[in-house]
Every structure is written in C-alpha cells, then in structure tokens.
Amino acid sequence: MKLLKKMLAVIALLPALAIANEGGHPLDHAPDRSHDLSALQNGARLFVNYCLNCHSASLMRYNRLRDIGLSEEQIRDNLLFTSDKVGDLMKTNLSAADAKQWFGASPPDLSVIVRAKSSDQGPGADWVYTYLRTYYKDASRPTGWNNLVYPNVGMPHVLWELQGIREANFVEEKDPHDPTKTIHKFEGFKQVKAGKMNAQEYDTAVADLVAFMGWMSEPIKNKRQQLGVWVLLFMSLLVLLAWRLNESYWKEVK
C-alpha cells in the first residue's frame, strides 16, 4: 500500500515534470550508454553526490544498483550516507519546507524524470542532457544561474564546479515574421572560469549521469527489449509453421 501511494504521488507530479522545452532551445542528442555498466556506475556516483542532496528517487532502492554491476559492499562504501542502509529507498534529507524556502518549490522526484520529459521534441534523455549542459551565469536570477532549455529555472547549477562558470552571449535581431519586433537570439557561451573538467570530460560525465537516470526510470528496459526480440522470433516461427501446415492441409483437400 505504501509503494502504491508513492507511485501515485510520482504520477501526480508528471504533468509538472513533463513541461516541454520552454526556451525553444534545440535539444542535443544524448549518447546511448544504457548497456555500458561502467558509465551507469559513474552516473550513479554522480547522482548520489550531486542530485540526491536535494532530489529524491523514491521508487528506487540502493540494492537495485546490483543490476548495474555493483556489489552491496561497493554500494555501502561508496554510495550510502552514514544513516542509510542498502535496502533503503533513495531519499533526500532535505525537508519540503526548507526546499520551498530556498528554491521557491520542492525539487521534483527524479525516479522517472527521463521518461516524464519525453515530448514531440525528442526523448527525455535528450532534454535532461541538454538542460545540464546549458546553464549560464545570470546575476538577475535569485540563484545566480539561468538555463537555455528551462529559462528562469529555480534550480541552481549544481555541477558548476565540474563545468566551470560560463556566460551566455545574446544578440537582438529583427523577427523575420514581424519586423516591428526583435528576437533575443543565443550566440554561444563564454567561459569565465574553468572547472575541474574540460568540455569533453564534462559532456561525458553528464552523458553517464543521464544514462543512469534513464536506467533508473525503467531498470528492466534492456531485458524487456531482449525478450521482445525473442518473442518476435518465436511468433515468426509460429507463422511459418502455420503457413506450411495450412498449405499442406489444403493440398490434401484439393
């Protein structure tokens, strides 16, 4: 019953989570690393260290990480906080009241965020991948940060130490559909302060993180797809046998 209530609570959040690309910024393609265990393990490490401080993943248990090749000892030594147990749900210690006071709203649960962000513009993985790579410094925002994919976002750039600090360059252009109006067009980023990673390393880290979040949204996806292939092969064989049996039967009748 408790699990059902949690699932219903997450489902209730889906309309809020499934906001389309508000800024109109084109989405980049997220590399598919769903079969790369080392990438998924690195993504799990990044998720626990950078995301789980504010967000929860209340539909995922730590011991489920054994499915991506981690032992219980590795989970306990590298991914658990002091008071957590291997069988616990991945929850944050941040209270809803504190979150609302600091960010203006409680951070959403990330259990199915990748699936929830899917839209006609692309898969949810592409949205999250582009979102985490398009933060820029903006002194006009309460947190000091803004985002191209989600303008005026309330979430600060939690990965800024890895990526460094960047500013966004915009130019004013005439609207091709209405010459009386101007468009605020993005022209690129300017690196103000270097991070712990270069651009390629940061993109790789974000790809690993998104891959883990995608796996977390549907842990059995790879097995489901493998099973689907076998089912289709089995059904094809049945169709072939039925066709030959039908042909043999009517041959005798004629």
The upper half-sphere exposure of residue 160, i.e. CA atoms within 13 Å in the direction of its Cβ, equals 18
The parts of the chain modelled with pLDDT lower than 50 are 3-20
Token digits of residue 4: 């059902």
The pLDDT value given to residue 19? 41
> Which residues pair with residue 184 across a beta bridge?
172
The phi, psi pair for 19, rounded to 5°, reads: -65, 135
The pLDDT value given to residue 66? 94
Q: How many beta carbons lie within 10 A of that of residue 59, not counting itself?
A: 20
Token digits of residue 246: 């039908």
